Structure 1
Amino acid sequence: MKAFRLLSALVVAALLSTAIGTFAAPLSQWSPKADGVSALQEREGSPTNSMTYGSDESPKQAHFGRNSVVRGVNLGAWFVLESWQNPSLFLTQDIRSMQLNDEWSWMNAKGSKAQEDLVEHYRTFMNQSDFEAIQRAGLSTVRIPVPFWTFVPTVKPEPYLASRQRKALRDALIWSKQYGLDVVLDLHTVPGSVNGLDNGGRLGEQAFADDPNNAKRALNALSVMTDMFVNNASYGGVVKAIQVANEPKINERLSWSVLQNYQAAALKTIRAAIKPSATVVPTVLFSDAFQPWSKYDALLPSDAYPTSHIAVDHHQYFVRAWDSRVPKDDDELIDYVCAIGPRIAAAQKKRAVIVGEFSLGRETRCVDYHTCQGVKMSQDVSTLNSAENNNFMRRFFEAQAASYEKGGGWIMWSWKTESAAAWSYSAAREQGWIPDDVSDPAQWLYRPADESQRKALPDDLHHLRF
């Protein structure tokens, strides 16, 4: 089996290498038709519809994470289900007795009822008032995790509901334009999965490198996404970045070289799909795959990875169950967080670094979603609502934000959850753990680099505000 996996990975690497040449090859030498990855472009007669960058007709580069500090939130669990974040979907009467790990198992369990429930979820989970509230909170950006089946058909045995996310996604971009928010479109799942996690669609499956068609379908999804939302000028150029994969896990199932070949092919696929009608050329966002940022140094700058066109996405969590190095002591943890800032600042000089996910959670919540049945947000907050902890949570947020702003900025996970307050920006803001308006420096209670100048916390921070 291991030999088969190695052979399959080599096939994928060979396919992508054929498509893109070497990393140092000029972009002009690559054609999106070379490996048949872009059916959309074939239909539209590419490359005549694609652009020559640097010409007078070129739309401007987004330079996401370089022109201004990114302060944002993820809109998690809207288009990719996660049971811990919206357990009520997994606890309806018809499936309550089951143990469902992901969207794959949820779809199979729901059967004919799945489409009705999902379409209603897409319609109601986020609405215009959420986007207005995000803008009022002083945030600049929303990162929208979307699955590959939004853009390409499913193949058997994939049970997913294809393309029905599009209406709500269009609404999201319209509301983002209305409220002046930048958008990161994050291809959160890819065929076969790059991490084997529930957020990849199917827990336990990490088969992206096993079949060359997985890469072809992922690249085609990126091409369709680009044409649909970047080339349409009516969205006003709100899409400032496109992320090509979420949290790849480097191991025997997925090698670093296969991932890098895919990312280079993804960059070229996206750029080849952009037309003169595009208002902005989005930055292409690569996950660091929890690898040292220095791994990009050999590739940057180069024709394949122009530094002005890409940024690196890093996810930073402080959950001891995931990383035993995380300090238990509050003050030690704040010091630990602050020490990250100089490292990010140094990395930012070579390439933009965005902390695309973080939270205030030191513990997981609702991992077994059955334990959160009927639990309200106020009940979860009550377990964290002491003067000492409220003080710490405010320090914890400000320390993280200050460190991450030494790079390109930050995007917290997530805007809303059903009952996990430390993972919900809106709930944390209500509780006073986050400033009402993060864009207003006067609302920061202290700067973590100088604890001696920390302001006293207002009394109302110590009380439940739900």
Structure 2
Amino acid sequence: MLTRLTRFLAFAFILYKLPRFSLLRKAPAHNCDGQAMTDLSTNATAKDKKDGPNWIRGVNLGGWLVMERYIVPYQFAITTCHVQGDFCWYPGALSAPPLLHKDYKLCDLTRCHPYRNLTIFNGTDYPIDEWNLAKAFDNQTLATKWFDYHFNNFIRKEDLVRMKKAGLTHLRVPLPHWIRGDIRENEPWIAGNRWKVFVRLCQWCRNIGLEVWPNLHTAPGSQNGFDNSGIESSVYTCKGWGRHPENIERTLDVIHEISDAIAKDHLLDVVTGFGLLNEPFGDCKLNGYERFLEDALAITRANMGPNVHIFVSDLFGAPKFNDGSWWLDPVKYHNTYLDTHFYHTFDSHTRSMSPKEHINHVCHPEELQAEITSCCYQDAPSTNSTPSRGVKRISAEWSAAYDAMPGELLQFVMEGIAVNGTAPDFYRILEPDRREFLRKFVESQMVAYEAADSDLGRGWFYWTIKMEGGAFAEWDFSRGLEEGWIPPIATPGVASQDVYGNCDRILESTNNSMAIVHAFPWGDESYWKQYPIVESSETRIHRSFVWLGIAFVLAFALSNLLRRRRQLFGKYTSIDSEVDVEVPGKSNPQYVQE
């Protein structure tokens, strides 16, 4: 009786924890007013306003050549079959070959079991980053084959055609530092055919009419401790890179190797910009970082030409560069940009904002560092009235996500795959009110980051081009185009504010209903101390039935327990006896980072 009860309760708990699975359908391509979308090839225009800069309006190819779990969770949800070279895919996996390809097959999850081991976070999980995904394979040849499936299939030419048709001008492409084979002893990195597919991408873009701006996204030792540096740490810091001169020198060598290869592969007509290093953490020493930037700038322009566009990260604090001297020379620092990434999902305060508070935070940030015009000025820091004639400003990462923390939500996604064989909310549908706000949120950010009235802003890149599944739908630019919450892009030379209205006008027209705000997590506590995402009414009804069933079973069990208490209690050796539970992979903790 108790065994059956325990099994039922466990099953009910799993049902309660996992977000619901929608029907196998997508929302129709409608705009926020419920009307069919217009042809995306028609750019938004404003009459007689084509007098602005050639705005950089682009999208990131995130999760492609530097893989990230929340973008491609199925690529990391490997099984006992994968590590033996018996490759298979989950339904809807974006890294899979075409359905009719000879290698394509669905995973048989009765035979292929989740391959999870200990992580640095003292629990069991699928590989958490590229370092550990590579280490999961004992055979590097098999690992390379699995990685190459992703590189070959995640980005396709039709994706790029659609970006051009939507009105975008640029693509930002994150690259790892090992893409040209700079892999040292005891490093498990897999280069695979990344460079080959990057060259293929550039050739596609040449024919389509898009400019490519690669960005060095990782560094030896990790410049921030994020998973997007290739290896995640339990502490976010620059120290793994910045405290080790050999890692800085190695990074400069990598920048030389990549920029030199771009030139030698005859890609300079397409690759017109380069990002020197993505998101070094804020504890990097400013003077040392500035010296690195000077050296990297000289190397890149020596290889790619004096006019190549260079963008550099702001150490999560752009105002510290606004000192009245940094990169102001219009000759030496023309076509350079200080890059700030703007997100509302990584702080509990912004996650819980109302819709109008979100827009207001874009238009009138509470912190100076959240303002695109916080740098850079010729007369800084005293007056800040004359914009820099050298370095300008850009936001190379931002998104429409506003109320769910990716890292925390990802835990439920990966657990759902392990338990159910499908990513939770894979076919999630965004409600009309949510899509309406997303449109306003996107428009306000396009306007704010161009900063057309300041002569500082030069454009933006949305993060990111596509997402695997619906749990992180608000990050999915392609989906936004389809559903109408990404607006038609302004014509080149026309400021976004001349099309959508200025930031305050967008704010005034925003519906302030809190019904679309489902802040997750509620505070800054870790995911295991929090409740699941706020559910829809349909899910709440489902949950109610589950709890009614649990209550019925508990009442029935209690009745039996009272009748058989002596017999049942006689089975216990002690009130605090422990039962050993086998954890898959616990005896082989190969995911613990060294």
Q: What TM-score comes out, normalization by structure 2 length?
A: 0.59
Partner of 1:413: 463
Distance 1:442 1:409 in 2: 12
Distance 1:442 1:299 in 2: 30
Task: Kindly provide the CA deviation profile for residues 402-454 of structure 1, in whole angstroms up to 9, marking residues without a partner as x.
Answer: 11111111101100110221011001221211124454979966553324985
Distance 2:276 2:327 in 1: 19
Partner of 1:82: helix, strand, or coil?
coil
Confirm whether residue 337 of structure 1 aligns to residue 332 of structure 2: no
Offset, 1:395: 0.5
Partner of 1:209: 242
Stretches of structure 2 lacking an aligned partner (at least 5 in a row): 1-51, 84-113, 117-124, 377-386, 452-456, 512-594
Partner of 2:73: 87
Write the letter of the residue equivalent to 1:375. Answer: A
Partner of 1:450: helix, strand, or coil?
helix
Offset, 1:159: 0.4
Where do 1:424-443 residues align within 5 Å?
424-439=476-491
CA contact (8 A) 1:152 1:217 kept: no
Confirm whether residue 134 of structure 1 aligns to residue 163 of structure 2: yes
Q: CA, structure 1 residues 229+411, in 2 after alignment: closer, same or farther (shift >3 Å)?
A: same
Offset, 1:183: 1.2
Q: What value does the CA root-mean-square deviation take over the aligned residues?
A: 2.9
Q: CA, structure 1 residues 156+452, in 2 after alignment: closer, same or farther (shift >3 Å)?
A: closer
Stretches of structure 1 lacking an aligned partner (at least 5 in a row): 1-65, 457-466
Distance 2:321 2:268 in 1: 35
Distance 2:211 2:425 in 1: 28
Task: Kindly provide the CA deviation profile for residues 338-372 of structure 1, in whole angstroms up to 9, marking residues without a partner as x.
Answer: 12599435636223111000111111344224145
Confirm whether residue 308 of structure 1 aligns to residue 334 of structure 2: yes
Write the letter of the residue equivalent to 1:217. Answer: R
Write the letter of the residue equivalent to 1:247. Answer: E
Partner of 2:423: 375
Distance 2:200 2:447 in 1: 32
Distance 2:200 2:54 in 1: 25
Q: CA, structure 1 residues 152+298, in 2 after alignment: closer, same or farther (shift >3 Å)?
A: farther
Partner of 1:199: 228
Offset, 1:270: 1.3
Confirm whether residue 181 of structure 1 aligns to residue 207 of structure 2: no
Partner of 2:312: 286
Q: CA, structure 1 residues 92+401, in 2 after alignment: closer, same or farther (shift >3 Å)?
A: same
Distance 2:473 2:359 in 1: 20
Write the letter of the residue equivalent to 2:276. Answer: V
Distance 1:364 1:431 in 2: 23
Distance 1:175 1:286 in 2: 26
CA contact (8 A) 2:65 2:176 kept: yes
Task: Kindly provide the CA deviation profile for residues 234-275 of structure 1, in whole angstroms up to 9, marking residues without a partner as x.
Answer: x35222211111111122xx322222221111111212334x
Q: What TM-score comes out, normalization by structure 1 length?
A: 0.74
Where do 1:337-376 residues align within 5 Å?
337-339=362-364, 343-345=371-373, 347=375, 349-350=387-388, 351-362=391-402, 363-365=404-406, 366-368=409-411, 369-371=413-415, 373=417, 374-375=422-423
Distance 2:330 2:56 in 1: 25
Distance 1:328 1:455 in 2: 13
Sequence identity (%): 25
Task: Kindly provide the CA deviation profile for residues 11-59 of structure 1, in whole angstroms up to 9, marking residues without a partner as x.
Answer: xxxxxxxxxxxxxxxxxxxxxxxxxxxxxxxxxxxxxxxxxxxxxxxxx
Distance 2:499 2:131 in 1: 42
Partner of 1:242: 274
Distance 1:106 1:426 in 2: 27
CA contact (8 A) 1:244 1:285 kept: yes
CA contact (8 A) 2:69 2:75 kept: yes
Offset, 1:111: 3.1
Distance 1:323 1:231 in 2: 47
Task: Kindly provide the CA deviation profile for residues 443-466 of structure 1, in whole angstroms up to 9, marking residues without a partner as x.
Answer: 96655332498599xxxxxxxxxx
Write the letter of the residue equivalent to 1:147. Answer: P
Partner of 1:40: none
CA contact (8 A) 2:341 2:395 kept: yes
Partner of 1:237: helix, strand, or coil?
coil
CA contact (8 A) 1:139 1:438 kept: no
Q: CA, structure 1 residues 314+323, in 2 after alignment: closer, same or farther (shift >3 Å)?
A: farther
Q: CA, structure 1 residues 389+241, in 2 after alignment: closer, same or farther (shift >3 Å)?
A: same
Distance 2:302 2:363 in 1: 40
Where do 1:53-202 residues align within 5 Å?
67-94=53-80, 96-98=114-116, 99=125, 100-112=127-139, 113-162=142-191, 164-202=193-231
Distance 1:344 1:211 in 2: 31
CA contact (8 A) 1:317 1:358 kept: yes
CA contact (8 A) 2:217 2:277 kept: yes
Larger Rg: 2
Partner of 1:408: helix, strand, or coil?
strand
Q: CA, structure 1 residues 73+111, in 2 after alignment: closer, same or farther (shift >3 Å)?
A: farther
Distance 2:497 2:425 in 1: 28
Could you tell which deviates more after superposition, 289-298 or 136-145? 289-298
Could you tell which deviates more after superposition, 280-289 or 291-300? 291-300
Where do 1:384-403 residues align within 5 Å?
385-403=430-448
Offset, 1:311: 1.0
Matched residue count: 380
Distance 2:202 2:416 in 1: 32
Write the letter of the residue equivalent to 1:93. Answer: T
CA contact (8 A) 1:377 1:421 kept: no
Offset, 1:301: 3.9
Could you tell which deviates more after superposition, 365-374 or 83-92? 365-374
CA contact (8 A) 1:447 1:453 kept: no
Partner of 1:361: helix, strand, or coil?
coil
Write the letter of the residue equivalent to 1:143. Answer: R
Offset, 1:87: 0.5
Task: Kindly provide the CA deviation profile for residues 197-235 of structure 1, in whole angstroms up to 9, marking residues without a partner as x.
Answer: 1000111175113432211221111111111113544x3
Distance 1:343 1:325 in 2: 15
Confirm whether residue 269 of structure 1 aligns to residue 299 of structure 2: yes
Q: CA, structure 1 residues 111+443, in 2 after alignment: closer, same or farther (shift >3 Å)?
A: farther
Offset, 1:330: 0.7
Q: CA, structure 1 residues 292+446, in 2 after alignment: closer, same or farther (shift >3 Å)?
A: closer
Task: Kindly provide the CA deviation profile for residues 373-394 of structure 1, in whole angstroms up to 9, marking residues without a partner as x.
Answer: 32377623x2xx2232121111
Offset, 1:281: 3.1
Distance 2:160 2:425 in 1: 20
CA contact (8 A) 1:357 1:410 kept: yes
Distance 1:346 1:256 in 2: 17
Partner of 2:535: none
